[in-house]
Amino acid sequence: MKETIKKPKINRFEKMENTIKAKDRVIAWPRMGRIDIPLKALVVSLGAKVVIPPANSNKALELGVKNSIEGICLPYKMNLANYIMALESGANTLMMFQAPGSCRLGNYTKMAQKTLKKMGYNFDMVIFDMYKSKMKQTLHAFWHVTHCLNPFKYYKGFSLGFSKFFAIDTAEKLLLKTRPREINKGDSEKCYEKWLKITDETNSIIEARKLRKRIIEDFNNIPVDKDKIVPVVFLLGEFFVLLDPYTNQNIEKELGEMGVEVQRQIMFGDWLEHVLKPSFLYKKESHRERAVRYAQKYMKRAIGGETIETIGDTVYAAKHGIDGIIHLMPFSCMPEIVSQNIFPKVRKEEDIPILSLVLDEQTGRAGYITRIEAFIDLVKRKKMRKEKNDNKIQK
């Protein structure tokens, strides 16, 4: 019998460059929605310095397109621009997570690293896979960039970070629900911005845990038209374009002002909790588990990206009275192209309207909004017919 030789475990962090001492690190990461607020709280609690790149804009888009290879998707271009702007502002350590499957997210950081080195930047890149060993992998990544050994600082950092993630999720959900029903236009937006600022400035664990309750109470005080008929649309698709208002051309606000309640199916705090928490502590069915269950008729396994969530959420929506689906994807996104090809069958068999929108730097705003308006007109007409039929049955 041949003797089996055990291969030593490779620590991915030991293979990374360590050109910068932990005490000298200035850390940055890409912009996605408002994850800068909770992540800053976490990293600063560990004693590190951070640089937050500017919010995504036309300037960032031009910078990303200029330095990206042809055919790469929009999220990569925006991430690369974030890295460049952060390095120009004094960052020297870049963080990013990656994921398995057909999504090119797994190669983003490696591609960006090579590009940035060619551009002459000196930095360390820390990549961690949040789908491998979950919390252990994450703790190791934060230790690698901060070399913090104080357990209380980790407790404070993660408590503050998670509380702020959940507070922002709560504020976003209430904004999306209240905006189409508000009597005084702009009330919900002002309330949301106010709580973003308060959340960012909160540094006490006790106060951070009270944020959600206070946010709910404040939104409940906004005058709304309770009798208004409001269609409900699921917003789903690729992770980055869902979370970033600039990239999706502020679609949530546009829909709200059209009198539509948006229910975005990926919320960062919910996603993070499921990814990081050990399964025995996560007692409720997660969004992903629900999606996998509902997608079984059309997809037997996940293929990477958010494809199985996209299909599962569409089926769930059809079976729970949701009025329509708006699907967002970056141009050339491989997992969401698969979703697009499954949609015709789902639309026919589940009887639910679906609008798929492809986003890149060439997407014109006028045509984009026109397509959304036409789709919402269809959804509203269908809802009105349903309301009339339901009233006839009741009589």
Q: What confidence tier does 90 reach under pLDDT thresholds 50, 70, 90?
A: very high
Of 102, 98, 133, 99, the residue nearest 113 (C-alpha): 98
CATH 3.40.50.11900 domain locations along the chain = 230-395
Enter the CATH code of domain 22-147: 3.40.50
CB 51 within 8 A of CB 86: yes
What is the pLDDT, as a whole number, of residue 4? 45
Enter the CATH code of domain 230-395: 3.40.50.11900
283-293 pLDDT, tens digit per residue, is 678 888 899 99
299-326 pLDDT, tens digit per residue, is 988 777 788 999 999 999 999 999 999 9
- Cβ neighbors of 265 (< 8 A, separation 6 or more) are 234, 235, 236, 242, 287, 309, 313
Phi/psi region, residue 47 (left: phi>0; alpha: psi -120 to 50; beta: rest), is left
What is the pLDDT, as a whole number, of residue 253? 95
The tokens for 40 are 């800053």
pLDDT exceeds cutoff 50 at 8: no
What is the pLDDT, as a whole number, of residue 277? 62
Q: For residue 232, what is the enclosing H or E element?
A: strand 232-237
List, in sequence order, every residue forming a beta bridge with 354; answer none if it has no partner: 325
Q: What confidence tier does 115 reach under pLDDT thresholds 50, 70, 90?
A: very high
Q: What confidence tier does 363 reach under pLDDT thresholds 50, 70, 90?
A: confident
What is the pLDDT, as a whole number, of residue 105? 64
184-241 pLDDT, tens digit per residue, is 999 999 999 999 999 999 999 999 999 999 999 999 999 999 999 899 999 999 988 9
- Average pLDDT on 242-247 reads 92
Long-range contacts of 383-389 (CB under 8 A, 24+ apart): 383/229, 383/231, 383/323, 384/229, 387/229
- Cβ neighbors of 369 (< 8 A, separation 6 or more) are 249, 254
Q: Are strands 124-129 and 261-264 parallel, antiparallel or unpaired?
A: unpaired
Of 67, 79, 76, the residue nearest 31 (C-alpha): 79
User: How far is residue 64's CA from residue 161's CA, in Å, rounded to a whole number?
Assistant: 29
- Average pLDDT on 128-140 reads 66
Answer positive or negative: Cα dihedral of 194, 195, 201, 204.
positive
List, in sequence order, every residue forming a beta bridge with 329; answer none if it has no partner: 358
Q: Which amino acid is at 131?
A: Y
What is the pLDDT, as a whole number, of residue 5? 42
**Least trusted range by pLDDT, from 26-30, 142-146, 156-160, 170-174:** 142-146
Check: pTM over 0.85? Answer yes or no: yes
167-184 pLDDT, tens digit per residue, is 999 999 999 999 999 999
Across all residues in the chain, what is the average pLDDT? 86
